[in-house]
Amino acid sequence: MLDKVLIVSANGMFRAGIISLLKTRQDANQLEIIQADSMPETLRLLNEWQPELIILDHDDQKIQKEEFLNYFVRSQFTVKVLLISLLSNGSVVVYDRRSLLPEEVTEYLQLPLSAEKLPDYSEKENKVVEEKK
């Protein structure tokens, strides 16, 4: 079973760069990657394709991040969301349907994307994890 990754940005170079990075992973052959360049397309793919991970361009003014995040928070999707900024190197924000203890964050970020490979933290849900560099 392939891990589904949705990359969201109106900037084609951002999408291509993220794809290049993902292809360097050891489990790259286990990833199915698709791209969206608008919010309507993103919401359609979220509903129809149901990715495990969404990588969202934080700096893209054409992508309505607030609309997406409001939809994500109200939904029951178990997808992970990464907001990535190429303009700043301050932090990467991870939205997930679980909460982790500080010592679990390091382990969590180093694991492959597959849910079956992740530790079970299902009793801790609907929290935001923020990892600062």
Tens digit of each residue's pLDDT (9 = 90 or more) over 89-109: 666 666 665 555 666 666 656
Give the pLDDT score at 130.
Answer: 39
Question: In the chain, what are the domains?
Answer: 3-132 (3.40.50.2300)
Give the pLDDT score at 45.
Answer: 96
**pLDDT at residue 16 greater than cutoff 60:** yes
% of the chain exceeding 90 in pLDDT:
41
Give the pLDDT score at 41.
Answer: 96
Give the pLDDT score at 71.
Answer: 87
Q: Residues 50-79: pLDDT tens digits?
A: 999 999 998 899 998 888 888 887 887 888
List Cβ neighbours of 81 (8 Å cut-off, separation of 6 or more).
53, 54, 55, 56, 69, 72, 94, 95, 96
Q: How far apart are CA 43 and CA 22, in angstroms?
A: 22
Give the pLDDT score at 11.
Answer: 94
**pLDDT at residue 127 greater than cutoff 70:** no
- This prediction has a pTM of 0.68
Give the pLDDT score at 123.
Answer: 41
